[in-house]
Amino acid sequence: MRIFDPHIHMTSRTTDDYERMYEAGVRAVVEPAFWLGQPRTSPDTFADYFDGLLGWEPYRAAQFGITHHCTIALNPKEANDPRLRPVLDLLPRYLAKDGVVAVGEVGYDDMTPAEDEVLSLQLGLAAEHDLPVLVHTPHRDKAAGTRRTLDVVRESGLPPERVLVDHLNEVTVAMVAESGCWMGFSVYPDTKMDEERMITILKEHGLERVLVNSAADWGRSDPLKTRKVGDAMLASGFSDADVETVLWDNPVAFYAQSGRLELAEPTAGESFAGNSVRRGVPA
Ligand SMILES: [Zn+2]
């Protein structure tokens, strides 16, 4: 099984995870820029984080045979901190870089006026830089948040096929299907989607424009959830080709719209900026 995890925060994961992911069939990931748990207090720390998503983390992934791309944005939660507003001025420089395959995660957390402003501004940046967009939907009041998200996307004039609306569930899938945007599902151990609910949605809505991700991060999550959905699909009668459509072809088709997706087997360099993941073991 060949797997592309279109949403996973590898910065928070270990080399054990990379090993297990490779073993499970994961060959490519996209890591969206997001909130790190600890609130940041200065735009400079964002620059270092973005550099890590474009430098150290792809290096680390390549050591384990996995291709790493990222998406760059000011996330919805931290959009509310006025000290971080200058992050928006950093974005054009990063959105021009080769490893960046979308603007994201953007969207709503609490649906504040600040989030409105930062979301519209970043949808504009996506249009300007000719990039697709990864949109996070809020965990509280999900239906209202998703409806509002779709309104703002429509007003932005971005073509819906360039927008991926993520963290969907049974309540929000129909409105996003109707909008023409791509539908993302995050499969977590306890909340949001699980494998069985995902299968039911695939049976009801089909495979078109559907992406499945683990969204694994610093919280309780499982980087092998993509594989577990693939196994559950096979067990419930979907074909190998169906699994390939959902777990590989769809994420490739979505992010290839950036013109920057590079899926050749990664070349594992000796080190990055003088640092290695090898702990002194000779090559
Ligand atoms: Zn995320």
Ligand 1 mean position, distance from CA 75 (Å): 9
Residue 199 has pLDDT above 60, yes or no: yes
pLDDT for 44 equals 96
Q: 8 alpha carbon to ligand 1 midpoint, in Å?
A: 6
Q: Comparing C-alpha atoms, which of 275, 252, 257 is closest to residue 102?
A: 257
The mean per-residue pLDDT over the stretch 240-250 comes to 98
Range 78-93 average pLDDT: 97
**CA 245 – ligand 1 centroid, Å:** 22
Cα(36) to centroid of ligand 1, in Å? 10
Give 59 Cα–ligand 1 centroid separation in angstroms: 20
User: Domain map of the chain by residue range?
Assistant: 3-256
Contact at 8 Å (CB) between 248 and 4?
Answer: yes
* pLDDT computed for residue 225 by the predictor: 97
Under the banding of pLDDT at 50, 70 and 90, the label for residue 280 is: low
Q: Which class for 187: exposed (0-12), middle (13-18), buried (19 or more C-beta within 10 A)?
A: buried
CATH number of 3-256, picked from 1.10.1040.10, 3.40.1260.10, 3.40.1550.10, 3.20.20.140:
3.20.20.140
Q: Is the Cβ–Cβ distance between 150 and 175 less than 8 Å?
A: yes
Give the pLDDT score at 259.
98
CA–CA separation, 239 and 271 (whole Å): 41
Rounded distance from Cα 9 to ligand 1 centre (Å): 7
Q: What is the mean pLDDT of residues 121-148?
A: 95
Q: Is the pLDDT of residue 157 over 60?
A: yes
Q: What percent of the chain clears pLDDT 70, i.e. is strictly above it?
A: 98
CA of 7 to the centre of ligand 1 (A): 6
Mean pLDDT of 144-173: 96
- Ligand 1 centre to CA of 155 (Å) is 24
Ligand 1 centre from 71 Cα, in Å?
A: 10
pLDDT at 6 over 60: yes
pTM of the shown model: 0.96
Mean pLDDT of 136-164: 95
Report the alpha-carbon distance of residue 179 to residue 183 in Å, rounded: 10
